[in-house]
């Protein structure tokens, strides 16, 4: 688990260090976001494994949505994301298609897709499941530069309630 935490932290730090020089050569953003943070499961069985879990994920912007007037300061896009939350014998890997709305520095999002879970049942047997997964959240971008830094808070759930919960993340966009 310590290796997993170190890998996630190293990825975010390296992305922040090397992204400005890489993006200076690009004429437009790549549309890639990398994030890491903490996930708090809402169900008792998962909380017994740990009250807080490490989580990380990536998101790729697929395109823009045209819904607002041309002079509006609002914009919208859609993306695909994959996240990873794990503690002990519990794991959740949601792969989602998201709708993202943006104001000035604040953005909000909702997504749906498939979640790959592993959990312990009442007899201490590990069970893998695939089912519907979703998320809803809000974020804030601190820097309007070539490599913006952001924070976000979200609720992540799926058809297997044992791995539902809240998360707080920090990340960078390329």
Which residue, among 59, 80, 75, has the nearest Cα to 15 in the 3D structure?
A: 59
Beta-carbon neighbour count of residue 124 at 10 Å?
Answer: 7
| Helix, coil or strand: residue 30 | coil
pLDDT, tens digit, 9 for 90 and up, residues 80-116:
999 999 998 899 999 999 999 988 889 999 999 999 9
Q: What is the per-residue pLDDT for 24?
A: 46
Q: What is the per-residue pLDDT for 104?
A: 83
Q: What is the per-residue pLDDT for 2?
A: 53
**Exposed / middle / buried, residue 142 (Cβ in 10 Å: 0-12, 13-18, 19+):** exposed
Topology (CATH level 3) of domain 2-166 = Porin (2.40.160)
Pick out the chain residues at pLDDT < 50: 1, 4, 6-8, 10-11, 13-15, 17-27
Domain ranges within the chain, ordered by starting residue:
2-166
């Amino acid at each position: 688990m310590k290796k997993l935490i170190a890998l996630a932290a190293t990825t975010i730090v390296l992305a922040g260090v090397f992204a400005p020089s890489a993006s200076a050569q690009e004429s437009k953003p790549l549309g890639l976001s990398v994030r890491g943070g903490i996930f708090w499961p809402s169900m008792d069985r998962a909380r017994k494994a740990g009250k807080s879990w490490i989580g990380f994920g990536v998101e790729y912007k697929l395109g823009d949505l045209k819904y607002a007037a041309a002079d509006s300061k609002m914009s919208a896009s859609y993306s695909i994301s994959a996240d990873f939350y794990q503690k002990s014998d519990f794991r959740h890997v949601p792969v989602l298609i998201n709708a993202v709305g943006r104001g000035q520095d604040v953005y909000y999002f909702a997504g749906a897709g498939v979640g790959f879970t592993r959990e312990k049942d009442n007899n201490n047997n590990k069970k893998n499941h695939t089912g519907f997964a979703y998320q809803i959240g809000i974020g804030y971008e601190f820097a309007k530069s070539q490599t913006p830094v952001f924070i976000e808070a979200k609720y992540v759930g799926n058809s297997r309630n044992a791995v539902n919960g809240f998360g707080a993340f920090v990340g960078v966009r390329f």
